[in-house]
A and B are shown apart, each in its own frame.
Chain A
Amino acid sequence: KQEVTQIPAALSVPEGENLVLNCSFTDSAIYNLQWFRQDPGKGLTSLLLIQSSQREQTSGRLNASLDKSSGRSTLYIAASQPGDSATYLCAVNQAGTALIFGKGTTLSVSS
């Protein structure tokens, strides 16, 4: 059974710092991996989607990498800002349909 783990569970950094969020999955047979942002009491906002054939995707200050063989993905956030404070969720698409989610990393960026 596919399991998705996100480490750390919580992270606090000062504004301007570069940071990395980690996601690992137990079964490398995935179609794609998606990173989301969730603000308290809100829905999920899609940040990046990486297909299984890709190594990385970039959007603005965000860069997500995928190493399928080792079952790992990282989300790199450059020059963090207080507005980046949120919970970041990693999810894998294994069966071609629904996503399997990690529990998330809660990020706090202080000014």
Chain B
Amino acid sequence: NAGVTQTPKFRILKIGQSMTLQCTQDMNHNYMYWYRQDPGMGLKLIYYSVGAGITDKGEVPNGYNVSRSTTEDFPLRLELAAPSQTSVYFCASSRTLAEQYFGPGTRLTVT
């Protein structure tokens, strides 16, 4: 049982490039989330999903897109990367109204 896994662990992007952050969970959780954490700040929600085929925006969705075609996977797409997207990205999953489990994070730098 690996829990929540994320790839890659680190990535450097040039301004204007695009990439996909991968997230997979093996706990059969219906809810999945993407958060970002800026230095010295708490985490902020980007997007979330309550099940396959259903996604919704969080507090800071601009510049990102998501899809959820399976229960296990919830990729986050960055289009036209900007320096403001330099951050650490965390994926999480949970059952309804239950404890959230987090992945190890992806550290992204946009230069």
To the question of whether A and B form a pair in one complex, the answer is yes
Q: Name A's B-contacting residues (CB within 8 A).
A: 4, 31-32, 34, 36, 41-46, 49, 51, 89, 91, 93, 96-104
- B41 lies within 8 A of A103 (CB): yes
Supply 13 A–B pairs (Cβ within 8 Å), ascending by A.
Answer: A4-B42, A36-B102, A43-B90, A44-B43, A44-B90, A46-B101, A49-B98, A51-B97, A98-B33, A98-B45, A99-B43, A100-B45, A103-B41
Chain A contacts of B99 at CB under 8 A? 34, 46, 49
B48: interface (CB < 8 Å): yes
What secondary structure prevails in chain A residues at the interface with B?
strand
12 A-B pairs besides A42-B104, A44-B43 with CB distance below 8 A are: A31-B97, A34-B99, A49-B99, A51-B97, A91-B42, A91-B43, A97-B31, A98-B33, A98-B35, A100-B45, A101-B42, A103-B42
Chain B contacts of A45 at CB under 8 A? 102
Known contacts A46-B99, A97-B50, A98-B48: A89-B105 contact under CB 8 Å: no
- By beta carbon, the residue of chain B nearest A44 is B102
- A43 lies within 8 A of B105 (CB): yes
- B42 lies within 8 A of A102 (CB): yes
- B42 lies within 8 A of A104 (CB): yes
Chain B contact residue count (CB 8 A cutoff): 25
| Chain B 62-111 interface residues, beta-carbon cutoff 8 Å to A | 90, 92, 96-105, 107
With most chain B CB atoms within 10 A of its CB, the pick from A31, A42, A46, A97 is A97
How distant is the Cα of A44 from the Cα of B6 in the complex, in angstroms? 13
How distant is the Cα of A99 from the Cα of B93 in the complex, in angstroms? 11
Closest Cβ of chain B: how far from A54's Cβ, in Å?
13
Chain A contacts of B48 at CB under 8 A? 97-98
B40: interface (CB < 8 Å): yes
How distant is the Cα of A78 from the Cα of B101 in the complex, in angstroms? 25
Closest Cβ of chain B: how far from A87's Cβ, in Å?
10
- B97 lies within 8 A of A99 (CB): no
How distant is the Cα of A32 from the Cα of B63 in the complex, in angstroms? 30
- B90 lies within 8 A of A34 (CB): no
Chain A contacts of B102 at CB under 8 A? 36, 43-46
